[in-house]
Structure formats: structure tokens, C-alpha cells
Amino acid sequence: MDLTHRPYGLLAELTYRCPLHCPYCSNSVRWEKPFELNTLEWKKTIQEASELGALQIGFSGGEPLQRTDLEHLVQVAREAGLYTNLITSGIGLTENRAARLLESGLDNVQVSFQAAEHDLADRIAGVPNAHKRKLRAAEIVNRVGLALSLNVVLHRFNIDSLGEIIAFAEDLGATRLELANTQYYGWAYRNRSMLIPTREQVEAAARIAFEARHRLAGKMKVLYVLPDYFANRPKPCMNGWGQRYLTVNPSGFVLPCPTAWEIPGLRFDTVRERSLAWIWKMSESFNRFRGTEWMPDPCRSCPQKEIDFGGCRCQAALLTGDPCNTDPACEFSPHHRLVREVADRRADHPAIDSFIYRQNP
Amino acid sequence: MPDLSDGCTGPFSRPCLAKRARLQIDPVSGKPVLLSQEAVILLNRTGYEILEQCDGTRSVAAIIDGLGTRYSIAKTTLTQEVSEYLEKLNQRGLLQWI
């Protein structure tokens, strides 16, 4: 098998059910109530991913703890030799479940937090007492001896308290902290004018994160994900379409990227009808933007095309209406102003409760 | 033995893999890999031999001595290379120290 062309990671979106309503949720806004894959279907999918070369699996959602077969699926993944990560809100994690997950071979738990301070955190999550329950979950993760990682999505309401967020993660005993500026797809796109920070906010946060990364090296790994809208070049999205990763959504549709469902006109295949290997190698969706042949100018003649792969197809589709276009985050895109002007059209003093909150299927 | 800044990677401290990291053989290539949430690190044979011994019972000095019996490399070179290798992984949060 060609080692440069295999899915290293599988994102298993077990369910879109979720107790929270975060206004930046990356789940699709166009989602109908899914007919979720059952345990056997997931088991087959995980084993097929391993045969294709996957080495990592992220159990995600929605809230994956809503699935009662989560422990079993973790065990299946471990037996197939995968590194297993649980991406959770923490809501619903009891000591009993955490112990069972540890026993099943779970390698890491990533708990999301909305802020370091509970009132703000609950207002962002759209659920009372969410923060308190998350704190309890993080304590349980530590107590049973699982590795704890934290993820905080950044936006104008919490980015100024980044120092507090980092101290909060240290206090909780996290071994890794992912500070992810909001990416504007799905629900976040709907709330963009409220969520988008200023350039000054983003730059100040980057300095704080950079300092913390050095100060805490060896103790807590700090990652700061730069926001596309303030960059001059696009990110190498998914390390290239259909190159490294695959996502399976709750109904079994296989996507080259978790937000690809939003791309109009792209047809996806499901593990209910096809093998994962066929979908990875042969399907129209995985081959549509593979390599560089599909690229129009300015990407086609750009020396960066093997570095950033033209950026994000979902963002190109969302902002320009055509997924083939250069990602507007790139300064060479003729649509770059679509990104530049957004920062100037921020909502003035938005009330935090006026978000369009994420609805659940 | 080089004096490493934060002291935790000194010759007598005993490294082991961080809870969030896992060492295994990639079934596709047959090569060793170090897995974590954010990365798949492909290891060469020496890297694997070093990490295999990072089990919290052996000191850095003992690991170096062990490798010294298997490779005909000058002790000072070996010491420097192993220390640098461990420090690099330590910076990435993939080791812990007993």
C-alpha cells in the first residue's frame, strides 16, 4: 500500500444529539434527524478504517456519550490498533462510565469548555449549569486516570480572557490545551457578525498563547489555531482533500472533511451501501478535489499549491458559491475581499443571548 | 551529561511515555509509530529502542548504558543524542518523569 496516501485518522461522528446549543457548532445546519448507524455498522466501519491504514480515531458528535455503545466501540477500535480519543462536552460522564472507558482502552479524553468563568460559559453553551457539569467531568477524567485534554473555541466574547483560560486549564491538570479560533462554517457562519473578534483581539491572544506554549512546554501542550479570516494564506485544509482523513457522520455518510456536507452538488456515499475502501479510493466525492488537477487559476499556477492545496473547499463554496474557487482566505483569491470586509462589518455591542443557538436533531 | 534546563531530563530521572501517548507497530508498514491525539510520529529503529525503554523504571543514564552495549558509538555522542531526543519529545508533551 502507498504509505503517503492512506487515511491516518477517522473522525467517527456517532450522533448529532447533544445537550448543548453552542452557536459555533460545526455540525451541519442542513441536517435532518439522522437514522444512526447501529453498533454492528460502526464496528465494521472501524475495522475497515484500520485495514485502510488508519491509526487514530476520534469519537465525536454531537455528544458521543449519548451513545450507550461508546465503550464497546472504543474497545473495537483499540483491538484494531487505533489510538482512541473521545471528543466530548463532558456532560453525561459519570465515574462509572469513565472507568469503563479506561478499561476499554481509551487513550485520551478531550473536554470542551466555553470559557473559564461559569456564567459566560453557560450563556455560550445555551444551557444552565453546563460549566459546573463539565468541571465535574474533568475531575472524573483525572480521578480515574485518563489523560485529559481541553478544547476552547475562541471568539469575541471569550478571547480577551485567554490568560484566565490557560490558567484554568493548568489548574484542571490538562496535558493539552487546544485554543481554536472559531471557523466560520455551519452555525458559526450564521452567527459570524456576533462572534468575529477584532484583529487586535486575535493578535493579543496569539502573543499570550505563544508565551504560554513556551512557558508550559513539557507540562501542558498549548495549541493556538489561527483564524482564517485574519490570515493572508489559506490553511492546508485536512492536509489535502482525501489525503489523510475521513469522517463518517451519524448516518454513515463518508466525508473527506467534517463540514463537506455543506458543499452543494457533492454526492456522498454511505458505509451502508459501499465498503470504506471503495469510498476512499473510488468515490466521486473523495476524488473530486484530490491532487491539483481540479484547480483553476490562481491556484493552478501557484507555487504554494502543494503546500496549502488551495485551502478549504467548504469555505470556497460557502463564501463564493463555487467549491472549485480558491479559498477566499488567500490574498490571491479574487474573492479575498469577502473575508477582509467581514471584520469591518461586525455587529456593534451584540447582546450575548441574541445568538442563533444550535438546534438539535 | 548535558545539563538540561528544567532538570526533569537529568541523567537520574526516569522517563516514561505520557499517559496520552502510545507506542505501537504500524500494521501497514511494520514500522514503529508514536501515537498521540495530534500526531502520528514515524520512528526509526533507534528511536523505537529508546522509547521502548522509557517505562519509568530506567533512568536516562541506564537507557544510555543499555544502548551503549548494542551500538559502537562513543558514549559522549550517544549521551548527547539520547538526551536531545528525549528533550524533543518532552517539549511536545509526550513524556512524563518519575
**For residue B10, is it within any domain?**
no
| Maximum separation of any 2 CA atoms in chain B, in Å | 39
**For residue B5, is it within any domain?**
no
Please tell me the least confidently modeled range out of A75-89, A343-357, B28-42. A343-357
Residue B69's H or E segment, with its range, is helix B60-70
Q: Residue A230: name the closest of A208, A204, A203 by CA.
A: A203
ipTM for the whole predicted complex goes beyond 0.85: yes
Which one of A8, A177, A221 makes the best mutation probe of the B interface by having the most chain B beta carbons within 10 Å? A221
Cell triple for A345? 462589518
Q: Considering only CB atoms, which chain B residues are within 8 Å of A81?
A: 24, 27
Phi/psi at A33 (5° precision): -60, 120
**For residue B32, is it within any domain?**
yes
- A33 Cα to chain B: minimum distance (Å): 30
**For residue B7, is it within any domain?**
no
Q: Considering only CB atoms, which chain B residues are within 8 Å of A110?
A: 37
- The string of DSSP letters for A254-288 reads EESSTTGGGSTT----BTTTS-HHHHHHH-HHHHH
pLDDT-based confidence at residue A4 (cuts at 50, 70, 90): low
Alpha-carbon span A100 to A146, nearest angstrom: 11
Chain-chain contact of A175 with B92 (C-beta, under 8 angstroms): no
pTM: 0.94
Residue type, A91: I
- A218 touches B at CB < 8 Å: yes
pLDDT given at position B2: 39
Q: For A284-319, how does the pLDDT look when each residue is reduced to its tens digit (9 = 90+)?
A: 999 999 999 999 999 999 999 999 999 999 999 999
Q: Considering only CB atoms, which chain B residues are within 8 Å of A219?
A: 93
**For residue B4, is it within any domain?**
no
> For residue B72, what is the domain's CATH number?
1.10.10.1150
- A308 Cα to chain B: minimum distance (Å): 19
Q: Considering only CB atoms, which chain A residues are within 8 Å of B8?
A: 218
- Spell out where chain B has E strands: 15-17, 22-25, 32-35, 40-42, 95-97
Alpha-carbon span A261 to A28, nearest angstrom: 7
Residue B85: burial class (beta carbons within 10 Å; 0-12, 13-18, 19+): middle
- The string of DSSP letters for B39-51 reads -EEE--HHHHHHH
**For residue B8, is it within any domain?**
no
Which one of A51, A74, A85, A108 makes the best mutation probe of the B interface by having the most chain B beta carbons within 10 Å? A108
Domain ranges, residue B66: 15-92
Q: What are the Cα distances from residue A108, in Å, to A50, B36, B55?
A: 18, 8, 19
Q: For B5-61, how does the pLDDT look when each residue is reduced to its tens digit (9 = 90+)?
A: 444 567 788 999 999 999 999 988 899 999 999 899 999 999 999 999 999 999 999
pLDDT given at position A360: 80
Chain-chain contact of A217 with B24 (C-beta, under 8 angstroms): no
Total count of domains within chain B = 1
pLDDT of residue A2 exceeding 60, the answer is no
**For residue B6, is it within any domain?**
no
**For residue B3, is it within any domain?**
no
